Structure 1
Amino acid sequence: MAKLTPMMEQYFQIKNKYKDCILFYRLGDFYEMFYDDALTASRELEITLTGKNCGQEEKAPMCGVPFHSCEPYINKLVEKGFRVAICEQVEDPKAAKGIVKRDVIRVVTPGTNVMTQSLDESKNNFIMSVFCEDDLFGIGVCDLSTGEFRTTQVEHQDALFDEMNKFQPSEIICNDAFCICGMDFDYIRDKVGAVISPVSSDYFENDRCEKLIKEQYALVNLEGIGLSDYPFGMIASGALLQYLHETQKNSLAHLMELKVYSTENYMVIDSSTRRNLELCETLREKGKKGSLLWVLDKTKTAMGARTLRKMIEQPLIHKGAIQDRLDAVEMLKDNLMAREELREYMNSIYDLERLTMKVSYRTANPRDLISFKTSIQYLPYIKDILAQFSKGVLAKMAESLDTLEDLHELLESSIEEDPPIPIKEGGIIKEGFDEEIDHLKKAKTDGKTWLAELEEREREKTGIKNLRVRFNKVFGYYIEVTNSYKDLVPDYYIRRQTLANAERYTTEELSELARTILGAEDKLYALEYETYVAIREKLASEMERIQKTASVIAWTDVFASLALVAEANQYVRPTLNQRGVIDIKDGRHPVVEKMMSGELFVANDTLLDHKKNRVDIITGPNMAGKSTYMRQTALIVLMAQIGSFVPAKSANIGLVDRIFTRVGASDDLASGQSTFMVEMSEVANILRHATKDSLLILDEIGRGTSTFDGLSIAWAVVEYIAGSSLAGAKTLFATHYHELTELEGKLPGVNNYCIAVQEKGDSIIFLRKIIKGSADRSYGIQVAKLAGVPEVVIERAKEIAAELEESDITANTKNIGKKRTEEAEPVQISLFDTMGMVAEQPKKSEVEETLKKLDISNMTPMEAMNQLYELQKKCK
């Protein structure tokens, strides 16, 4: 076998350390990939595959991308789930003896990608670490781009899924036990969107993890940050730290304090509820417009946008913390001038959190520092405005806001206002900041004057009118003469290069001048680079101050946004209670209201509590507004618990621990689940995990199967909620099974409501108003007519409906309700206790049989009257 070239030997030495990565190997101005990496990259990136002579008989497959525009290519590979190792030259090629030394400077994975083009500025990019042991799970969560780092531990897989849904990590690292614990990995990949990366068990070694955390945060013990009570969380966080160090090859100084959090401090929202309520994206388009976030987000900064998103995804459950937020929003709502001033200053603030990450990574360029300077120049004014508020969160924020004036003065005096992006080519440092830099700049400037003077002298001396003194990186300074004047070139000119249309020369005077000028330039560029690095290091040393300031700015932006939305949309401050009462007057759906261009939204009341108003059964036709009404109740509760004002005339909100929604259904064919199976899975999840302090939104339970089975299940679910350990869970239950309205008065806390409808002949008008009582019909045929179903189909449907009404099952369901209430009060009711009880067809009555036998055409009026009198007596 032929021997590999030295370059390829070096390549394989590095590649063998990163076998699970696509290696971007720096050669000159390109990142090159070879062999299998090249085949994969050319296919995934749709770039040309070529070959390179590597010392063997056949050329090595090769492809490459320009190093200065590599980010889009790396991002595309990472989005597809690949890991990319970036291999750079780690020594100056001029000083290298033999082949230039190279090494991997960073590994990019989905959860560690901090490239600007890949990040949505309004969203965090989390990586999660999971440590599993005995059905207990430690969790570490980090966003490298902002420095946020949190940890907790939970029991059971369902609680772990809740945390995954909350943070939506793009990557999960885990131990071997997690891989075999029975978790649904397909769900994690498809619904959460995370790439799962198992790592060695060494990462999760207890002592190593503890040591890493102590070193990272300069701790003597873990008690001070509350981590000693979360041993599994500590292991998960330590493993994540090691993974980040190994992939980033950096000190990670920008990672903020490791915060321990308890899941008991936040409302739990499962993935179905997040989708159904369209909290941050719509169900169909997956876009922001049409979501709750779209309505509430009027933030001016990327930091504020991310903070608001986290608030919506993690509502609070402790009254005091929510009241603090509401106080801040109310103060800014009532003080228009202060709010608008704050928002005006926010316009000039860049993403301090991600700028800080760049400073920590030593990748911040001069323009990044100018952005940083621009961002902090208005901090003193923001502090003064916040100081106008004498109490509450805003006053505390004013007190804690570090205006970073010393850093602003440093950048103001040192960095040019419009600097170049490269940091090794000068033009960065302002005049007056460094005496030696000023001296070298003067020498460089004078050198240009000298060159201009030499050029003019040579023209006069030689008579060559188009003689030019030029420069390039290969030959340095030279004199260029076109061929038409070649005969006038004097003897003391030394030829350097022959071109098609010109000749290039130098002279002893020009060579001496070039040495002086280039020496000054080299020294100037080197000194400017050193000075710039020192300034950047100064900023890096103040990381903690900058991050605390960024946090205050983010919260100020959020409170101002919520205050603006509250005022613009006529929202009110909710009252909070812990008695379980939800009393909303004239509530409105925040999103639907905004989407209705010019139309008046019909407001509705909601009353739910732990006693007489536990379960509302809501009937009425499709499209009348049942789902909108139920979702608006859930959204108003959620908005109140994030600390926002709400769309209502008044709202007294009993704090809930969880919101569950079962709204609509669709097939999950990829996993072999039908509509009905998806529906029943969601119902099972709700009945297993809801508590008496939960809010349940249930829409059309049982519609995915046969009428009798569906009605039986819906009936049993209502009984279970009203009569089991869930008694007290506040529930809105929309249904087309009018038979369920028989439960009012027979089950405690069950009440009937319906959507008001006005009939006009064969047509109906939706009044969108929730009223007490039950609908006597579903108006399905009328709705079908409104939808444009052909008239012949509508007429046939009416005929069939008339025939089917003869098989009315209402009488039997009344008996079911009667039978249930005559029994002893149930403690635990099986979900399918009533299955089959309504399956028996109603028997034909004696009156019906008599009516069928009557020959009305051969009866006199008196005979008919007598017969009718006899039938009436039998009925009585």
Structure 2
Amino acid sequence: MASVGATPGRTPQGPGPGEASASFPSPAPVPDPREAEEEEEEEPAEIHLCVLWNSGYLGIAYYDTSDSTIYFMPDAPDHESLRLLQRGLEISKQRLLSGNYSFIPDSMTGTEKILFLSSIIPFDCFLTNLDMAQMLHRLLGHIKNVPLILKRMKLSHTKVSDWQVLYKTVYSALGLRDACRSLPQSIQLFRDIAQEFSDDLHHIASLIGKVVDFEGSVAENRFTVLPNIDPEIDEKKRRLTGLPSFLTEVARKELENLDPRIPSCSVIYIPLIGFLLCIPRLPSMVETNDFEIEGLDFMFLSEEKLHYRSARTKELDALLGDLHCDIRDQEILLMYQLQCQVLARAAVLTRVLDLASRLDVLLALASAARDYGYSRPHYSARLLGVRIQNGRHPLMELCARTFVPNSAECGGYKGRVKVITGPNSSGKSIYLKQVGLITFMALVGSFVPAEEAEIGAVDAIFTRIQSCESISLGLSTFMIDLNQQVAKAVNNATERSLVLIDEFGKGTNTVDGLALLAAVIRHWLALGPTCPHIFVATNFLSLIQLQLLPQGPLVQYLTMETCEDGNDLVFFYQVCEGVANASHASHTAAQAGLPEKLVARGKEVSDLICSGKPIKPVKELLKEKQMENCQTLVNKFLKLDLEDPNLDLDIFMSQEVLPAATTIL
């Protein structure tokens, strides 16, 4: 609202209290994000919720834009290991985690696909390219959620921050294009970015930079344009900027025609209402009728000031019109025209996000490979299985002080079924998981935590490692193991599949669980050369002791190396050939903090069962129970009132003493 006024000495004055001078921010050139970063308004965090379909079972997943984290809540095996991919900026991470690599040409062979995915990794592993990788990361940091902005444009809901984000995104995309043109064009991704980030991006950036007044837009909290875009808008802004001095002269003339009792006046401009004459309320003006002044039309009373329309203010309305609204309407029209220009090139913006997503993911994998000392796996279409030399669990090695690497080899005809036994907490489950993770990481194009790794044509990885229970399924733990995991492996695994089974059968009766485990393994062994590559970890030592599996080259027995040092058990966490002779559950129970008496009693009962001897009650426990019963009986006698005429000693002896005596004697 613009205003001028006059002092009691009947001279014009500046804007009074509660009044704001009309002004329009002077336009300023838009800074280039490639030269210096500018403060930008933070986008509000958004949560994207979706239905997760995993291996035939429904769950949910949600993506938090505030920290670029994706969370899974599935009714299927948890994919905790995929959180390694949170390194980097992770634009459109859903594409990677869904496992749908639609950008890989269908014409590629299996070997070519793996090489395509992993081709960028060696580029970032050399220290000489570290600066370039960091620059690419910085540029990727400015590439935001373009599809959301385009959607708002289509609905005409564009915000000032959207134009700022889009401007930085486009300029950063141009920076990526220039950087990738200086990199080896033998890498497909670099070549795609260099070619497909077309001049349309430069056209969009140029349009936004020449049209949008970012400083003015932030100050006004709406879209404003730079000077010299529309002469009519420039003229109206010039008039709006010059209003204060012009209205000062108008107020002086109005004051000359007012009652001498009126000490001062102001001429103000209110958008959508127009120009008004504002005078202070006199003490004599009490009733509404007192507000009437000859030659003036009373409008309203606000903050002890009366507002009127005069002949001059009406003339100003006709001459100048509603400048503020006119400027806003014309700038909205220009914004709509600019939106149409951007939407016409929406395809290239979507392509920017697609290629930037790939580059971000692959750079994240490359960064992890460099930081954690991963090595490049070799892919062999001839190899049926995997060969891993000194492999490590990618997560466990970050948590443990020391980690013992282990090798794994499954290929050819021999040793397709590996039965792993060992004490509790000896590392069997970790070994199975690291074999699966190394294979998976290699197949998605990542370097792997191993000295060497050769990956064959693995067509699927089936696991029975973790039981994901859910009340929504209405199934028992053992039924989930069978229905969701083991049954799928039995029905779908091929000679190129990797099957990992950990402690299957423990969810039911020992005999039944052992029988099912043996039956499943024998089913695969009966396939002969077409048997999948199977790793089975179990504590069912009877599986081997009772010779439930046939002898032959397909079966290989492995164990986790340990050493007994007196009453202590030392774990070496090293896989070696052989069979464990005990589960050492008592040692695990002692480590868990169970009382020594309980651990000793458990070991005693276990030894008696193994030797076929009867299990007798513990004498000390029996004596303690007898003493408790004696004390209870004594207390009952002491509570007797022998002088009570209603006391019946026969009933007391038969109901209280005799039953207690049987537990004492």
Change (3 A) 1:547 1:117: same
Match of 1:623 among 425, 450, 471: 425
Confirm or deny that 1:389 pairs with 2:184: yes
2:507 to 704, 712, 715: 704
1:385-410 CA distance string (max 9 Å, x none): 21221312134222333251111110
CA distance in 2, matches of 1:350, 1:650: 38
Conserved 8 A contact 2:124-2:130: yes
Tell me the secondary structure at the aligned position of residue 605 of structure 1: strand
Structure-2 separation of matches of 1:635 and 1:272? 20
Distance in 2, matches of 1:474 and 1:362, equals 23
Q: TM-score, normalised by structure 1?
A: 0.57
Cα distance between partner residues in 1 of 2:82 and 2:468: 24
- Structure 2 CA distance, aligned partners of 1:631 and 1:272? 20
> Which structure 1 segments of 5+ residues have no match?
1-114, 127-162, 167-183, 195-270, 280-290, 809-876
Q: Which has the larger radius of gyration?
A: 2
Deviations along 1:717-736, one digit per CA (max 9) or x if unpaired, are: 11112222784311110000
1:608-645 Cα offsets, whole Å, 9 max, x none, are 12411211111112222211111111111111111111
Runs of 4+ in 1 over 6 A off after TM superposition: 271-274, 312-317, 485-490
Which one has more relative contact order, counting CA pairs under 8 Å at least 6 apart?
A: 2
Matched residue, 2:281: 483
Structure 1 residue 788 displacement after superposition: 1.0
1:486 and 1:732 map into 2 onto residues whose CA distance is: 100
Distance (whole Å) between structure 1 residues aligned to residue 120 and residue 404 of structure 2? 30
Matches within 5 A, 1:126-137: none
Task: Please name the residue that 2:169 is paired with.
Answer: 375
SS of equivalent residue, structure 1 residue 377: helix
The one of 298, 316, 333 equivalent to 1:513 is 316
Which of 533, 550, 566 pairs up with 2:353? 550
Give the Å deviation of 1:377: 1.2
Give per-residue Cα distances to partners, 1:330-352, cap 9 Å, x unaligned: 22333222211111211222222
Please give the alpha-carbon distance, in whole angstroms, between the structure 1 residues aligned to 2:100 and 2:599.
44
Instruction: Look up the equivalent residue of 2:345 and give its one-letter code.
Output: E
SS of 2:572's partner is strand
State the alpha-carbon separation in 1 of the partners of residues 310 and 469 from structure 2: 82
Whole-angstrom distance in 2 between the partners of 1:362 and 1:475: 26
Q: Match for residue 572 of structure 1? A: 375
AA matched with 1:655: A
Partner of 1:257: none
Where does residue 415 of structure 1 map in the other structure? 212
Residues 824-843 of structure 1: per-residue CA shift (max 9 Å, x gap): xxxxxxxxxxxxxxxxxxxx
- Quick one: distance in 2 between partners of 1:547 and 1:605? 44
Structure 1 SS opposite 2:454: strand
What whole-Å deviation, never above 9, does each CA across 1:640-672 have from its counterpart, x for those lacking one?
Answer: 111111111111111211111111336554443
Aligned to 1:132: none
1:843-869 C-alpha deviation (Å, 9 max, x unpaired): xxxxxxxxxxxxxxxxxxxxxxxxxxx
| Distance of 1:622 and 1:452 partners within structure 2 | 91
- How many residues are treated as equivalent by the alignment? 543
Q: Does 1:444 align with 2:240?
A: yes
Amino acid at match of 2:82: L
User: Paired residue for 1:300?
Assistant: 89
The one of 569, 583, 587 aligned to 2:391? 587
- In the other structure, the counterpart of 1:832 is none
What pairs with 1:221-370 in structure 2 (closer than 5 Å)?
A: 275-276=76-77, 278-279=78-79, 291-300=80-89, 302-303=91-92, 305-311=93-99, 318-334=110-126, 335-370=129-164
| 1:408 alignment partner AA | A
Q: 1:301 to 1:677 in 2, by over 3 A?
A: closer
1:403-802 correspondence to structure 2 within 5 Å: 404-418=201-215, 420=217, 428-455=224-251, 467-470=265-268, 472=270, 475-484=273-282, 491-498=294-301, 501-578=304-381, 579-596=383-400, 599-665=401-467, 668-681=470-483, 682-724=485-527, 727-741=530-544, 742=547, 746-802=551-607
- Deviation sequence 1:554-594 (CA, Å, 0-9, x none): 22222221111110111111101122131111111112223
Q: 1:479 to 1:373 in 2, by over 3 A?
A: same
Residue of structure 1 equivalent to 2:31: none
Q: For structure 2, which runs of at least 5 residues remain unmatched after alignment? A: 1-42, 63-71, 614-665
CA-based RMSD: 3.4
In structure 1, what is the Cα distance between the partners aligned to 2:472 and 2:612?
A: 39
Q: Name the amino acid aligned to 1:410.
A: L
Quote the Cα distance in structure 1 between the aligned partners of 2:471 and 2:197: 53
What is the identity, as a one-letter code, of the residue corresponding to 2:184? F
Q: Secondary structure of the equivalent of 2:423? A: coil
Against the structure 1 CA distance between its residues 362 and 497, is the aligned structure 2 distance closer, same or farther, given a 3 Å change threshold? Answer: closer
Structure 2 CA distance for aligned equivalents of residues 635 and 516 of structure 1: 76
TM-score using structure 2 length: 0.74
CA contact (8 A) 1:691 1:726 kept: no
What is the CA deviation profile of residues 729-777 of structure 1, one whole-angstrom value per residue up to 9, with x for unaligned ones?
1111000011333478704321111122233333323322222212111
Summarize the Cα distance change of 1:555–1:426 in structure 2 as closer, same or farther, 3 Å threshold: closer
Identity of aligned residues (%): 23
Please state how far the C-alpha of 1:459 moved relative to its aligned partner. Answer: 6.4
Q: Is residue 385–residue 411 contact of structure 2 (8 Å, CA) maintained in 1?
A: yes
